[in-house]
A = this chain, B = another copy of it.
Amino acid sequence: MLRNQKEELQALQDTLYFIGGKWRLPIINSICNGNRRFREIERSIPGITTRMLSKELKEMEMNKLVKRTVYTDTPVLVEYEPTEYCRSFGNIITEMINWGKKHKKIVIQK
């Protein structure tokens, strides 16, 4: 089995860099789970601040992870939708959820 370890490490580090801090994947998860409005997303992620969510959503819009739509009714409605790119994190998120469930006891002990 000859794998290119250097290339793999680079790919791993690119992904980690892109995921960044602790909030991006929970936000992606929330939006992919059907939450569309700012307050919905905020409520679905305990511990996130309004400021952090706002900052992340702006970056995610720039990176084409979410599509932001403004409905100019009264009151104005803003919705965030996941792009295909956003959904490309599905496998990573699934594996992380699996790991977290399996190792719940271990993590709690710490």
Contact B17–A22 (Cβ < 8 Å): yes
Copies of this chain present? 2
- From B17, B29, B63, contact of A9 by CB (8 A): B29
Cα separation A101 to B97 with both chains bound (whole Å)? 22
Chain A contact residues: helix, strand, loop or mixed: helix
Contact of A88 among B5, B11, B30, B99 (CB under 8 A): B99
Which residues of B are found within 8 Å of A100, using beta-carbon distances?
Answer: 10-15
Query: A5-B33, A9-B29, A17-B22 known; A98 and B103 CB under 8 Å?
Result: no
Q: Is A2 an interface residue (CB 8 A)?
A: no
Please list the residues of chain A having a beta carbon within 8 angstroms of any beta carbon in chain B.
Answer: 5, 7-18, 22, 25-26, 29-30, 33, 44-45, 63, 85, 88-89, 91-93, 95-104, 106-107, 110
